[in-house]
Structure 1
């Protein structure tokens, strides 16, 4: 069953988790982050401000050994993506893979505003099954 007007979806990966989020091309990355927060139990668990989203971009190679399920040495990422950007602006299609990272302070149970300094954010990490 799909949500009216939202037949596409993206996969959002973090560590050993994958979130399937119903989307439409006009959705913003802020909306995607809100959906992730809801899937994790609501904004009292984690707020969208404590998340960053990235898009995987395969690095060209002679052989097609890129696995879009895992961001690896064979790929790079665009990001963090601004909250106001839409999926269509970044050419995010149905079944695309995005990556989410959380603020390190949130991981430690601190719910304070986070700077854009990369040291304040966890690295992209996805565990391959």
Structure 2
């Protein structure tokens, strides 16, 4: 069963078409084409629970459901992660990412 999730970073939202059986690493690979950031420098956080998603587990295993909002943070040059910085209410740049 296909689903869409919203991945947000700053004022950008990516609408990603995926399957519950996709791993987080698979999702990060899709995002790397748009963000020009390798998967190992991306961190995804489920906004309902603020749970950092595990690359090796599926979206379903981590309770990521259709229309979920994930925050994307990137690794900084010093090795630490950016803080979550998403704009939930103002205009966004929107990208639709299809799994096909």
Q: Which structure carries more strand by proportion? A: 2
Tell me how far 1:104 sits from its aligned partner: 1.1
Q: Cα deviations across residues 35-89 of structure 1 (Å, max 9, x unaligned)?
A: 111123xxxx3101110010012xxxxxxxxxxxxxxxxxx5111x110011110
Say which of 22, 37, 54 aligns to 1:46: 37
Query: What residue number does 1:70 align with?
Result: none
Unpaired stretches in structure 2, ≥5 consecutive residues: 91-100
TM-score normalised by length of structure 2: 0.81
Is 1:122 matched with 2:95? no
Bigger relative contact order, structure 1 or 2, given CA contacts below 8 A and separation 6+?
2
Unpaired stretches in structure 1, ≥5 consecutive residues: 1-5, 58-75, 115-119
Aligned-pair Cα RMSD in Å: 1.7
Secondary structure at 1:33 match in 2: helix
Give 4+ residue runs of structure 1 displaced > 2 Å after superposition. none
Q: Work out the CA distance in 1 between the residues paired with 2:8 and 2:19.
A: 19
Query: What residue number does 1:117 align with?
Result: none
Query: What residue number does 2:98 align with?
Result: none
TM-score normalised by length of structure 1: 0.64
Which one has the largest radius of gyration? 1
Query: What residue number does 1:82 align with?
Result: 54
Total equivalences in the alignment: 89
Say which of 69, 72, 78 aligns to 1:97: 69
Say which of 3, 7, 14 aligns to 2:2: 7
Is 1:26 matched with 2:21? yes
Secondary structure at 2:7 match in 1: strand
* Conserved 8 A contact 2:8-2:71: yes
